Structure 1
Amino acid sequence: MLTEAEKAATLWIQTGFTDRTVIQAAVAEPLLAGQSVVGVAPTGSGKTLAYGIPALSRLVPGAGLQLVIIVPAQELAIQIRDVLTPLAKTLGLGFQGLIGSANRERQVKKLREKPEAVVATLGRFVDLLEERKVVLEEVKTLIVDEFDSFEPDALRDILSFRRGGLPKQANLGLFSATDNPTIVSEFQAAWPDLQVINETSTDNSRGVVHHLLLDRQQAGKIQVLENLAREKHQRVFVFFNHKHVLQKVASELRFKHVPASMLVTDGRQVQRAEALQDFRSGRVPLLLTTDVAARGLDVADVTAVVNFELPDTLTTYIHRTGRTGRQGANGTVYNLGDDHDLRDLRKLVGDRVALETEPGEKKAYRKSAAHSAGADETRGVERQTGAGHRPGKRLTSAEEEAASAKKRKKKKQRWRNKKNVGKHW
């Protein structure tokens, strides 16, 4: 009979990864030993396998529900289910997804097969727990993925598991791309041995990511998306704060025959799945989404992130922009807004992120020759990294941009054929 460590080694071989990431190596031993950990590492650093493999390795076939993974979004639950189910089967374990939009009766029927592990959205899991369709008495490990995205009421529901039948010896795993000491302290009251493992500064899996500031009004923002979509081999997350703005932009892109998909929380499950599949496969270069809908999603080879509406917290900015520049690849972040918006973003990120001023733009916050020299350097870097800029004349004000957009529409010419538009954006 294999030991837990031997089981974990077998699963790592099955994944095909020869080297573990920093976070995977750091949390493996504590989780295998049944310790409680907070695992913080950049988006795309392999946190699902970091907790999934050691947690699965501790389970005993036929001993009831022993692993519960709680996540904030349905797509994230599906993603985790698809990643961990083959590994669970290797160990003779059942693994089930419990999400709110799926057929409840089919989920209850499958629960009768007594899976050893589940991944669930919180609302559906709490409903099933209250009706005793799932029980916590045999649970060995509770994982909360993207823990810092849950609302206070939701966190209280998760903490209530401790009083609702979760064994005292069950260990806890909190995982995310950003730390939240306030949330961690609340869980430490219930799990005093909770150990924080933050590998944000030591993780070296990230490539070079350029964070650009682009002064744009609405028409100019649409033009940025159109230009990106016309470039070859683009896979771009486009983030919004408000669903009505997202839907309006999607409509404008359809009018311009720009291929784009929408991922929103209240869409039908089939539609969301199709949108995500079209994006992952490369059939559609743009995925328009909100933070809640896209939280924790792992999509390979994301070339760029566009903040169509700028985030209002540093945590949100980090989660959004972490989707590009994964596994050593380079990436670009386009921050769109007016001068006031971009100033606020500079204050928001502080020294945490190196924001680059758009080449050719004369901004009030560029006050020295050193800034001008930096713009020349940035221009050269962008050409080297394929950010989509080409030599030529560029727009320098919202008025000129609006006039150019009107002219393009009137003449019904594609943006690549314009003399003064589309070569820089």
Structure 2
Amino acid sequence: MTFADFNLDEQLMEGLEAMNFNTPTPIQQQAIPIILQDKDLVACAQTGTGKTAAYLLPVIHKLMQKEDRKLNTLILAPTRELAQQIDQQVEGIGYFTGVSSMAIYGGGDGALWTQQKKAILEGADIIIATPGRLIGHLASGAINFHHLEHLILDEADRMLDMGFYDDIVRIIQFLPQKRQTLLFSATMPPKIRTLANKILHEPEQINISVSKPAEGILQQAYMVFDEQKTPLISSLLKDTPHQSIIIFASTKETVKKLHTTLKRKGFGIEAFHSDLEQAEREAILQQFKSRRLPILIGTDVLSRGIDVEGIGLVVNYDVPPDPEDYIHRIGRTARAATTGTAITFITPRDQRRFHQVEQLMEREVSKLPVPEELGPVPEYNPGAGRGSGGGRNFGGNRKGGGNNFNRRQPPRHQHNKEQHKGQRSGGGQRGGGNASPKQGE
């Protein structure tokens, strides 16, 4: 199947050819005909499956058939980064069509608010907005949605996780009841089903998400105690051959602390978090995309808010709280049929969570030996002490509640001894063979 089979507008096809879009992905093959038929749609599809083009192509095609164009489409997205990314896709796909779009998000100064309001008043064809900032514009009375024909919710599960349910319901009160509504979500928990039943009319359903990472990702893990994580990541970064790296941590405080530590060690790294001004965030992302910045560290906002090809290594400094978030995090690598490596640090309290990840993927991730100089490490035993409240008792000889995690020495094979012997006498080189295995080893 090719894009020509959809009979899309010629100018739209020119944009696809310029972007080297040839063969539609599975989500595009299934969603585009449904959207062209003006049916509502609930689609379960992960980031990286081509879902953005799956809804933009038919919507822009329908826009091209109109002589008198007004504000036609509203796309809601959870983060400013995703809103900007969708806006860039509209610009690329619709380059020859004359279709206009505007990304509306918070975090900027008064000039940005004025620019967004002007675009709304002058009638951009497509508005891509984060719910919070759009509520602000609605309160000012600047937006007229009377002619709206399409409402698209992208990454709906993430929006609900971020507490936007009430904002979404409030926004919908400003929209025409007669419209086409498209809901895209990586997962389909009950709250998404409830939202879909509330705002969609007899929707078609597509399920592309299989909660499995790309085959091209080499997944590895290290069992460590908390105090070993920073020395281990320093060792990995010193020896890695990868030129583009993302590190995920679970809290903003951890991101800031680790960024400071690694920066002092001389690594080319920047932190990405909500305390930065919008201009700073955009500058950091641009440096990373252009390969001028080799390492980016952030929270899960990066796992869905950034679309960069060629990321060679993803490091989970913390195991994510939700197994689905693990899939999204490591999905930043091995995109567009490339290969990549994903490494996760597992502490004793994280074992059960990581075991849930393995159960979701229906596979076990290899646990690698840490460099000997880091000392004893915990055993991987996620089934120990079930019901004990998180396994915070690490001591091997303690009695009573808590998990019983035994410290163990890393394997001491002969080749490991020789490597570490050479490292100790070789001017400070660390952990080459075991600390950062290359793909295929």
Q: TM-score range by the shorter chain?
A: 0.7 to 0.9
> Residue 15 in 1 paired to residue 19 in 2?
yes
* Counterpart pick for 1:188 among 157, 179, 197: 197
> Residue 49 in 1 paired to residue 53 in 2?
yes
* Counterpart pick for 2:99 among 89, 93, 97: 93
Instruction: Please show how residues 75-154 of structure 1 align to structure 2 within 5 Å.
Output: 75-102=81-108, 103-151=112-160, 153-154=163-164
- Displacement of 1:32 after TM fit? 1.5
Q: Distance in 2 between matches of 1:297 and 1:266?
A: 18
Local SS of the residue matching 1:138? coil
Cα gap change, 1:4 to 1:33, in 2 (>3 Å): farther
Which residue number corresponds to residue 319 of structure 2?
310
Q: Which amino acid aligns with 1:162?
A: I
Which residue number corresponds to residue 388 of structure 1?
none
Which residue number corresponds to residue 71 of structure 1?
77
Local SS of the residue matching 1:174? strand
Q: Which amino acid aligns with 1:173?
A: L
Local SS of the residue matching 1:175? strand
Q: Deviations over 1:183-237 (max 9, x none)?
A: 133222331312221112499x933223322112345323443344343343222
Q: Which amino acid aligns with 1:289?
A: G
* Counterpart pick for 1:323 among 332, 340, 345: 332
Q: Which amino acid aligns with 1:302?
A: I
The gaps in structure 1 that reach 5 residues or longer are 368-390, 396-400
Asked if the contact 1:98–1:124 (Cα under 8 Å) also holds between the matched residues in 2, the reply is yes
**Scaled by the length of structure 1, what TM-score is found?**
0.81
Identify which range, 56-65 or 283-292, moves more after superposition.
56-65
* Counterpart pick for 1:209 among 210, 217, 233: 217
- Displacement of 1:69 after TM fit? 0.8
Q: Deviations over 1:295-327 (max 9, x none)?
A: 232111122221111111122222212212222
Q: Distance in 2 between matches of 1:14 and 1:78?
A: 20
Q: Which amino acid aligns with 2:173?
A: R
Asked if the contact 1:70–1:119 (Cα under 8 Å) also holds between the matched residues in 2, the reply is yes
Local SS of the residue matching 1:267? coil
Percent identity of paired positions between Structure 1 and Structure 2: 25
Cα gap change, 1:394 to 1:221, in 2 (>3 Å): farther
Which residue number corresponds to residue 8 of structure 2?
5
RMSD, aligned α-carbons:
3.2
Q: Which amino acid aligns with 2:23?
A: D
Q: Distance in 2 between matches of 1:414 and 1:216?
A: 26
Q: Which amino acid aligns with 1:81?
A: D
Q: Which amino acid aligns with 1:123?
A: G
- Displacement of 1:349 after TM fit? 4.2
Asked if the contact 1:265–1:292 (Cα under 8 Å) also holds between the matched residues in 2, the reply is no
Local SS of the residue matching 1:423? helix
Local SS of the residue matching 1:350? helix
> Residue 344 in 1 paired to residue 353 in 2?
yes
Which residue number corresponds to residue 374 of structure 1?
none
> Residue 226 in 1 paired to residue 242 in 2?
no
Which residue number corresponds to residue 172 of structure 2?
162
* Counterpart pick for 2:416 among 355, 372, 392: 392
Q: Distance in 2 between matches of 1:295 and 1:136?
A: 28
* Counterpart pick for 1:176 among 182, 185, 193: 185
Q: Distance in 1 between matches of 2:254 and 2:315?
A: 14
Asked if the contact 1:211–1:334 (Cα under 8 Å) also holds between the matched residues in 2, the reply is yes
Asked if the contact 1:97–1:118 (Cα under 8 Å) also holds between the matched residues in 2, the reply is yes
Cα gap change, 1:20 to 1:364, in 2 (>3 Å): closer
> Residue 237 in 1 paired to residue 253 in 2?
no
- Displacement of 1:351 after TM fit? 4.2
Q: Deviations over 1:358-399 (max 9, x none)?
A: 2347835499xxxxxxxxxxxxxxxxxxxxxxx63499xxxx
Instruction: Please show how residues 226-375 of structure 1 align to structure 2 within 5 Å.
Output: 226-230=234-238, 231-360=240-369, 363-365=379-381
Which residue number corresponds to residue 34 of structure 1?
38
- Displacement of 1:343 after TM fit? 3.8
Q: Which amino acid aligns with 1:52?
A: L
Q: Distance in 2 between matches of 1:366 and 1:156?
A: 38
Local SS of the residue matching 1:58? helix
- Count of equivalent residues: 384
Q: Distance in 2 between matches of 1:351 and 1:112?
A: 47
Local SS of the residue matching 1:96? strand
- Displacement of 1:246 after TM fit? 0.9
Cα gap change, 1:366 to 1:251, in 2 (>3 Å): closer
- Displacement of 1:62 after TM fit? 4.2
The gaps in structure 2 that reach 5 residues or longer are 1-5, 371-377, 384-414, 436-441
